[in-house]
Structure formats: C-alpha cells, structure tokens
C-alpha cells in the first residue's frame, strides 16, 4: 500500500480516528438520547473554553459532527493557533438535538487533547522568544494520533522534528552501541543515504561530538548536556566550521539540537547556549487536556 503524505495523510488520519472514536463511544446507539429526546427535536449549542488555551483540532470537531450528521451546521468561531480566554465561544452548532448530543463527547475529546498540546507548546515557544532557538517536538506521541498531535504543535508556533522513522535518519545511542561507536554509525548512515534524507546523530559527550564532526552529518543532537557543556559544544562546532585552510571553502556547519529533560523552567537557559533547536517530548507526552465544554443555548 502506498503511504499517503502531507495533507492527504493528515486528512486520512483525522477521518479514520474519528470513525474509530465514534464507534468506540456510540456502539449500538446512544440510548440515553434516543429514549429521552424526540427524534425531531432541534437545538443550538456552543462549545466554549473553560480555561485560557490555544485552539487546535478544529478540523477534528468539524469531522466528528460531519460524520454524525452532515446536515448539522457547525460554525468555527476561533481558528487553530489563536488564543482563547475563559468563556470564549469556539464553535456554534445547530440542527438535530440527537446529533449534537451523540457527537458531543467525541468532539470535546479531540478538541481538549489537541488544544492542550497547542497550549503547552505555546508556553515553550514564548519562553525562548528572542533567543534564535526553535522548539520542536519528538516521536513521543499517542499511537495513531501522531499527525494530529504534530499539527497541534505547529499551530502553536513550534515545529516538527521527523514524522517517523522513514523521513529522517537519527542515529541514537543504541544504534551507536550496536555499530561499534557513534562515528562508525554516522559514517555508515551518510555513506548509504541514497534517499537524500537528512542525517542527524546523537552524541553524549564532547568527545563523541569531536568524532562525528568530520563525518559531515546535517544535524547533531546534544543529549542530556548541562548548559555549560552545550555552550562549549556550540563554540566548538562554530570553530570547526570556520577553521578550513585559507582559500578552502568553509565547512558546512551542522545544525545543533539540544535534547533531554528540558522543562519549561530550563528551556530558555538551554536556548541561550546558542543551539538551533530544542526538542521537548513534553509537548505531546505530558500536555494536560484543555478544559472545554458544550452547552445548549436558547
């Protein structure tokens, strides 16, 4: 089967996840709604923010209600990436009461999860403002939800690292240990890279950094290094890139990424060391769910 890419993959993922979520929640039927609300009843409802948040997942909300009932009217009031305050109306819905109630929890689950990620990511982005470093995510995502969660990260102004194992090489400690060392693993990846995809290598010390520099990788991940060591690593890479013989072309400077136990309290200190990227698994794996609610209106 051919892998869908880009927007096509995102649309397919969103559709399939909504199908599965509705099947999980509705099952054979929403008996509460069926037995308490007349089938012909119609209503209007709003989805509101119950906390300050960054909106994300609006397309998922629209997809939920589209699958439940294409005749429902769903108006998105606040776009992805926009800040919302307590009480702000994010969506307006009108149509069959049954349809609104059937889709309610599934829509809120998508919205809460994805807005939670965007809200978390925005805090990290704000913390490094003006430093020149960019906050990026990792592959520490909910299985099956990766494309949606990474879209939420982008909505907040952060950026994506690789999407999966297929679109970027990242030589990590286990690869290096199994291949006879980090330099050997890096060299093997660069030599065999017939796809032209970026090659990144994780190093755990300044000694490993020194061994990797001559290999010519695109990015070096500085793993679990304290700020003072990160600063030394940045200085060494800058020196190496500018130290070609007189008249020789300047060496390409690999991008530098800091990673490992970065928190909201420490991210700015890390950014000020001069690294280009800071990868933060907490953007996705530890983001609290945003508090949102659906209310019927008269």
What is the CATH topology of the domain spanning 129-285?
Answer: TIM Barrel (3.20.20)
Query: Domain 6-125+287-297 sits in which CATH superfamily?
Result: Quinolinate phosphoribosyl transferase, N-terminal domain (3.90.1170.20)
Q: Could you give the CA distance from residue 46 to residue 54 in angstroms, rounded to a whole number? A: 17
* pLDDT (tens digit per residue) in 102-115: 999 999 999 999 99
Q: Are 274 and 234 in contact (CB under 8 A)?
A: yes
The rounded percent of the chain whose pLDDT value lies above 90 is 93
The mean pLDDT of the chain is 95
pLDDT for residue 242? 86
The domain spans of the chain are 6-125+287-297, 129-285
Catalytic site residues?
105, 140, 172, 202, 223
Residue 100: what pLDDT? 98
> Does 138 score more than 60 pLDDT?
yes
SS (H, E, C) the chain: CCCCCHHHHHHHHHHHHHHHHHHHHHCCCCHHHHHHCCCCCEEEEEEEECCCEECCCHHHHHHHHHHHCCCCEEEECCCCCCEECCCCEEEEEEEEHHHHHHHHHHHHHHHHHHHHHHHHHHHHHHHCCCCCCEEECCCCCCCCCHHHHHHHHHHCCCECCCCCCCCCEEECHHHHHHHCCHHHHHHHHHHCCCCCCCEEEEECCHHHHHHHHHHCCCEEEEECCCHHHHHHHHHHHHHHHCCCCCCCCCCCCCEEEEECCCCCCCHHHHHCCCCCEEECCHHHHCCCCCCEEEEEEC
pLDDT class of 5 with cuts at 50, 70, 90:
low
- Mean pLDDT for the stretch of residues 266-291: 98
The yes-or-no verdict on residue 1 having pLDDT over 50 is no
Mean pLDDT for 224-228 is: 97
pLDDT band at 249 (very low <50, low <70, confident <90, very high): low
d(CA 26, CA 166): 35
What is the C-alpha separation between 156 and 173, in angstroms, rounded?
30
Q: Is the pLDDT of residue 144 over 60?
A: yes
Given a cut of 80, whether residue 250 has pLDDT beyond it is no
Question: What are 61-97's pLDDT values in tens digits?
Answer: 999 999 999 999 999 999 999 999 999 999 999 999 9
The answer on pLDDT for 60 being more than 70 is: yes
Which pLDDT belongs to residue 2? 45
Interval 32-57: pLDDT, tens: 999 999 999 999 999 999 999 999 99
The percent of residues above 70 in pLDDT, for the chain, comes to: 96
pLDDT 10s digits, 152-186 = 999 999 999 999 999 999 999 999 999 999 999 99
Higher pLDDT, 250 or 7: 7
């Amino acid at each position: 089967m051919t892998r869908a890419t880009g927007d096509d993959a995102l649309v397919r993922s969103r559709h399939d996840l909504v199908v599965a979520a509705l099947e999980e929640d509705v099952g054979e039927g929403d008996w509460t709604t069926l037995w308490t609300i007349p089938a012909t009843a119609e209503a209007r409802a709003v989805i509101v923010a119950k906390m300050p948040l960054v909106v994300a997942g609006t397309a998922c909300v629209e997809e939920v209600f589209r699958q439940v009932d294409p005749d429902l009217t769903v108006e998105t009031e606040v776009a992805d990436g926009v800040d919302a305050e307590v009480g702000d109306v994010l969506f307006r819905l009108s149509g069959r009461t049954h349809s609104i109630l059937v889709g309610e929890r599934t829509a809120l689950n998508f919205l809460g999860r994805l807005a939670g990620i965007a809200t978390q990511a925005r805090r990290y982005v704000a913390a490094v403002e003006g430093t020149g470093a960019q906050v990026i995510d990792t592959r520490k995502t909910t299985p099956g939800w990766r494309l949606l969660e990474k879209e939420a990260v982008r909505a907040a102004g952060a950026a994506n690292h690789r999407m999966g194992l297929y679109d970027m090489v990242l030589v990590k400690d286990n690869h290096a240990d199994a291949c006879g060392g980090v330099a050997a693993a890096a060299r093997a990846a660069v030599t065999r890279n017939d796809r032209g995809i970026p090659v990144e290598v994780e190093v755990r010390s300044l000694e490993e950094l020194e061994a990797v520099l001559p290999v010519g990788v695109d990015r070096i991940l500085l793993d679990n290094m304290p700020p003072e060591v990160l600063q030394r690593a940045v200085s060494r890479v800058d020196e190496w890139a500018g130290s070609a013989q007189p008249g020789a072309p300047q060496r390409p400077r690999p991008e530098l990424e800091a990673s490992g136990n970065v928190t909201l309290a420490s991210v700015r200190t890390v950014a000020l060391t001069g690294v280009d990227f800071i990868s933060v698994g907490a953007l996705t794996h530890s983001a609290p769910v945003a508090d949102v609610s659906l209310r019927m209106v008269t």
